[in-house]
Amino acid sequence: MPPASLNITYSGRKGPMLGLALRTGLLTILTLGFYRFWAKTRLRRYYWSAIRPGGIPLEYVGDPLEKLLGFLVAVVFMAFYIGIVNLLLMYVSFALLNGNVAAYLLSFVGLAPIVFFAQYRARRYILARTRWRGIRFGLEPGAWGYAWRAMVHWGLAIVTLGLAWPLTTLWLEKYRISHTYYGDQVFVQGGRRGMLFGSMKHIYYPLGLSVIAGGMTAAFENPAWIAAFVLTVPWFVYGLAYWRADSFKRMTETKELGAMRFRTFPRPGKIVGIYALGWFLIYLVFTGLTLIAMGILLAAVGGAGFDIENPDQIEMMLAAGTPVLVFVYFVIFLGYRAMTHAWITLPIAAHFAEVTQILNAEDLHEITQRDRDEFAEAEGFAEALDVGAAI
């Protein structure tokens, strides 16, 4: 019988993650994107296995070939849709509106239901391939139900200029969670309608203050108001982290799995710190690389006796520069991705995992296995639309 409460330990480390992300990213570029199904699967295996509730790691059992197959399935259908729709939108936007922007907006609205549909299907695939203690998670079918609800709730959030976002978040989480299973046990998302509004307070306050301070600055030119206006920026940044931590806490602590409950104590300050440190390190690395590259360039130019007055040499330099530029582009792309994984995504996941506890786990052993969700399409649609999970 398991103990009454299970702590979650985290065993992921930045170094190995950086290496894995660099290796898989390089292979993806070398194979013109073909390896991305393997890359994503391998990163997920690492991220999942790092999270160990009660000391037993989660397991991601997705198969890259299955993802490739799902992608091919999605291409068969989506190629038609995307090709024709893009062309028609371009035509309509220029025939009626003489401009390009309209086409993008229209295509966004046209794609929205499919995006939500694809996100739900991707979640279903990911949960179906996630296990803990040998038991599968699962998400019941319901992608179209999710898509129209998401449209309504997002519409509400947009109409209210984002003020209703806490409501949107909670409603959609309720839909997703009430369709989520661990083995044969369904999850329940509790919480009253207004539950998440409090989590937004550090976003509402600085926004309100900035409106007042901005108006006062415009009217009176008092430096105190300008200072207040400037101060709302860091407050707003803190507010974003606070929202992330506090909404997670409120939603997690109202989740139920049978008799099980959850406790979590994420800290907004820690989240701000992780992002600040991560971005600082990335900045440092790129600055260092730039300095080294400049040094090499200067040495090469000096060694060749470069004559700035000679246009032929400039042209030669430019010709030689193109492959270098392509190389630099890939280095930046690859490096940024890998460093984001190692220094932001992973520490954030570590923080949320380590502050979370499972309570009342005595009856865990009564949960039984669920059938495998064969799911030929995998997350192909999300992949095709590029709206899949970040990892």
Residues 331-370 contacting another protein, CB under 8 A: 333, 364-369
Asked if 119 interacts with another protein (CB under 8 A), we say: no
Selection from 347, 353, 351 nearest residue 18 by Cα: 347
Binding of residue 59 to another protein (CB under 8 A): yes
User: 29-47: b or e for each residue (b if 16 or more CB lie within 10 Å)?
Assistant: eeeeeebbbbbbbbbbbbb
Site membership for another protein, residue 183 (CB under 8 A): yes
- Cβ pair 18, 370 in contact under 8 A: no
79 part of the interface to another protein, by CB under 8 A: yes
Instruction: Print burial letters for 296-311: b (CB count within 10 Å at least 16), e (below 16).
Output: eeeeeeeeeeeeeeee
Among 5, 7, 22, 56, contact with another protein (rule: CB under 8 A) = 56
Segment interacting with another protein (CB under 8 A) among 153-161, 246-254, 287-295, 329-337: 329-337
Window of 146-154, 221-229, 289-297, 383-391 that interacts with another protein by CB under 8 A = 383-391
* Integer Cα distance of 181 and 183 in angstroms: 6
Binding of another protein at residue 246 (CB under 8 A)?
no
Strand partners, 10: 51
Q: How far is the CB of 77 from another protein (least distance, A)?
A: 8
- Closer to another protein by CB, 28 or 232: give it: 28
Q: Give me 167's structure tokens.
A: 């409501």
- Report yes or no: 50 and 60 within 8 Å, Cβ to Cβ: no
Among 133, 149, 244, 250, binds another protein (CB under 8 A): 133
Of the candidates 26, 140, 27, 83, the residue with the CA atom closest to the CA atom of residue 384: 83
- Residue 66 is a binding residue for another protein (CB under 8 A): yes
* Residue 259 contacts another protein per CB under 8 A: no
Q: What is the DSSP string of 203-269?
A: HHHHHHHHHHHHHHHHHH--HHHHHHHHHHHHHHHHHHHHHHHHHHHHHHHTEEETTBEEEE---HH
Min dist CB 58 to another protein, Å, is: 10
C-beta of 190: minimal distance to another protein in Å? Answer: 22
Q: Is residue 23 within the footprint of another protein (CB under 8 A)?
A: no
Report the site for another protein in 82-111 (rule: CB under 8 A): 82-91, 94-96, 98-100
Could you tell me the smallest distance in angstroms from the CB atom of residue 336 to another protein?
A: 10
